[in-house]
Structure 1
């Protein structure tokens, strides 16, 4: 086992102010902190396949993201809908079948939450503790936006208003602290933290579902994504996901169509990026990378929007899997 001082040196962190100041996002126990701090660095160059092919594709307007609920159950999001699916896979890297279940339109969700028809876009999803979190954009494209908490069968557990500094492109719950993170619209690279205990409490009281929920900001737990040299990232995020090993996996689509699609890996302990990102040229026309999930198996699931010519049809919601060639699954 490595010592704390050895771990701080490896991470390039000054621990003179204590662990709380050194690591705003950290596991609860010192042993787990030391384990995560000394894992081998992930390299996106190590991801396979090099020539990816979708395992599922269907037409929908403006694909966005996904959330893993458990077992074979997933929830997918597009601009106007959320839908439940079963992804059947003896090997998580090679799903064999996707069974589509019920879907719900954003208008139905707004009605159930008692909100006016002033919101027009669902972002990438997050999930923890039986609640699926969906960021909802105001039609003005300006804050404040909303977070909806949905049950696994897509009923509205509750809703909360995001701060004026928070965006709505995606969200994720960190497994270490249970906080929900959304990207900042004022500081590039900053992921803003919220306490979602109110959603977890409400889940057990179906009679109260649909009502507003208090969701306090937790700025001391914000995560600032940085370059390998420690400078704040200039780019925002398209989708992001956390692993139990203290990594954040981030997708970015750079440009304005056609897009350059990248996956990046970061240390949650330091916020620093592990080397350069990895770019993929997906096979569809006008492909734009979107949401990402780290499956418990260590496989990365990605959404790519194939932005077809809308004169003829809707966009294609394409699903892909990636895995590290040499990094063990329990270290992703």
Structure 2
């Protein structure tokens, strides 16, 4: 019997990875616009690989032969983990595969918000640079330096930790908050309400879960240090974008860099477009050649293990599988 592997949306894989997955079964490639086709094709699918496509309870119930779900990337907010776990379906992600890429983008957003190089490039190209005297340059050209600044990391997993390491190379002081443990092996841990007023730059790196949805709200922004910078590279929906625009326009926050948004693509009527001191990028954090290679290898490995009846090394719903009584049957075959 030919196995069926669905690519539920469009994402980058190396040619080697595509060939390896093709050797495991028939690939059905879809886009986000083909929701009806996804529901239909899922009925006899063995594996579904999805980056953004919503894998909800309806789809999981339709997929009677489903052996596992592979998330291309790290965030799993588009997958109903509870529904999958009830059916005994493991969900594996690609954690660690794009950690370096996202961390480096976070640092580039920090640098942009503290020196405004993109804005300066536009200034030169537009012909507005008329005089060599530095005193004639616009006031926004006067930036700041990273060295000596305090970075607060909200969520120091693989990506947040790497951001902290890179920040230290710039001479920054790093502290972290949130996460399951109130500690970190490298950086000091502080409660959120203590970290925010101390941080010159705040980097958000927590996943989007019920506890973090809307976390950075109109009530939380006043806790941030005046003139600080906010960087968001994890998931949209954690930050109230209307409240953020207000905080930027009021001058409470000096700048922000966002790679993720509550709605993607960001709608043209978003209040963020009315704010000059913000940098917006199109959810490109994990888009490097190296990250694609890393993620491709993890996707292949997840697919192989699932088809062998084993848990992927990166299974994210272990506790739920155990709760519903499925974990032991996988544990006997898996070395996690």
With the length of structure 1 as denominator, give the TM-score of the two structures.
0.25
Scaled by the length of structure 2, what TM-score is found? 0.25
Question: Whose helix fraction is larger, Structure 1's or Structure 2's?
Answer: 2
